[in-house]
Structure 1
Amino acid sequence: MRRRHAAQGSHGVATGVYAPPVSEPASVADVHALALAMPHVTLVHGPKGNAVYQVGGKSFVFFRTPQPDAADPVTGERYTDVIMFWVESEEDKDALVRDPSTPFFTTPRFDGHLSVLLRGADLGRLSRDELAEIVQDAWLSRASHRRRDRWLAEHPVR
């Protein structure tokens, strides 16, 4: 992950400790806007109309349909607002889901899958700047090496 973390990950992007929000709270509309703002992005829709953002035919942000693996623990009602973000590595995934201060989670269904889940209802726990980094990292994890290298050269880590 980029600026948010202290140690360097496999792209030379940072991993490690989570920092509190520094800009306005994130929203579902921000997810859409940030994903579309990345280069070479295609928006496709799943069979139930859910948005899927792709780069080079590879999904990097996926609005899930209600699934049994993500449900209210009390009522059993399936969450209708789960968003999946791809990550670069298991280390990046673990950094996000194991930190209790973040709203990210995973389910056994995604063991070994390089992605994290986040409910739209919890997006406000992130700042828009933090969400931008998550979307950028998701894009970077799925873009071709050429596209990723070009984007990183044009957007140096601050």
Structure 2
Amino acid sequence: MSTVDDVHALAAGMPFVTAVEGPKGNTVYQVGGKSFVFFRTPRPDARDPETGEKYTDVIMFWVESEEDKDALVHDASTPFFTTPHFDGHLSVLLRAAHLDRIPRDELAEIVQDAWLSRASDRRRRQWLER
């Protein structure tokens, strides 16, 4: 099963990637200046339904399309979710606490797809040709 270290290793292992530090020390992985995996800081749109506490461990992954987003969010077997704040935004959210529900090979696909959704045509083509 997957861990936060796996997310970092997989994202950092993609080509042409830079890791930047967000304003609160959170890591943002980018390709060509575009984020594709983003460790979020606590925000009011993602809270524990029982306690009302903001989640401190949300990771955002970009997706290629609304269909991809819907498939991940509406599949009851996955822990991916979204919030109204992200309506119309091509991304899904995942709590790090639930990474253990995702096999590492599936996480690798999610990270690769996130990278592909944000990389330039040239970079995408180069990577896919390998």
Q: TM-score range by the shorter chain?
A: over 0.9
The residue type paired with residue 99 of structure 1 is D
Give the one of 71, 78, 92 matched to 2:54. Answer: 78
Q: Matches of 1:127 and 1:117 in 2, distance apart?
A: 17
Amino acid at match of 2:52: G
Corresponding residue for residue 53 of structure 1: 29
Task: Tell me the distance in 2 between the aligned counterparts of 1:33 and 1:119.
Answer: 17
Give the Cα separation in 2 of the matches to 1:82 and 1:148.
Answer: 26
Q: Which runs of 5+ in 1 are unaligned?
A: 1-24
SS of the residue aligned with 2:88?
coil
Counterpart of 1:85, as a letter, is F
TM-score between both structures, scaled by the size of structure 2: 0.99
Q: List alignment gaps of at least 5 residues for structure 2.
A: none
The match for 2:78 among 97, 102, 107 is 102
The secondary structure found in structure 2 opposite 1:68 is coil
Alignment match, 1:150: 126
The 3-state SS of whatever aligns with 1:44 is strand
Residue equivalent to 2:20: 44
In 1, the alpha carbon distance for the partners of 2:129 and 2:72 equals 25
- In the TM superposition, what is the alpha-carbon distance from 1:38 to its structure 2 partner? 0.1
Structure 1: distance between partners of 2:111 and 2:35: 12
Counterpart code for 1:131: L
Percentage of identical aligned residues: 79
Structure of greater Rg = 1
Query: What CA distance in whole angstroms lies between the structure 2 residues aligned with 1:86 and 1:53?
Result: 11
Question: Mapping of 1:4-153 within 5 angstroms?
Answer: 25-153=1-129
SS at match of 1:71: coil
Deviation at 1:150, TM superposition (A): 1.2
Instruction: Give 1 or 2: higher helix fraction.
Output: 2
Aligned Cα root-mean-square deviation (Å): 0.4
AA aligned opposite 2:77: S
Determine helix, strand or coil for the equivalent of 2:70: helix
State the secondary structure of the residue aligned to 2:125: helix
How far apart in 2 are the matches of 1:94 and 1:150?
28
CA distance in 1 between counterparts of 2:92 and 2:25 reads 21
Q: After TM superposition, what 4+ stretches of structure 1 lie above 3 angstroms from structure 2?
A: none
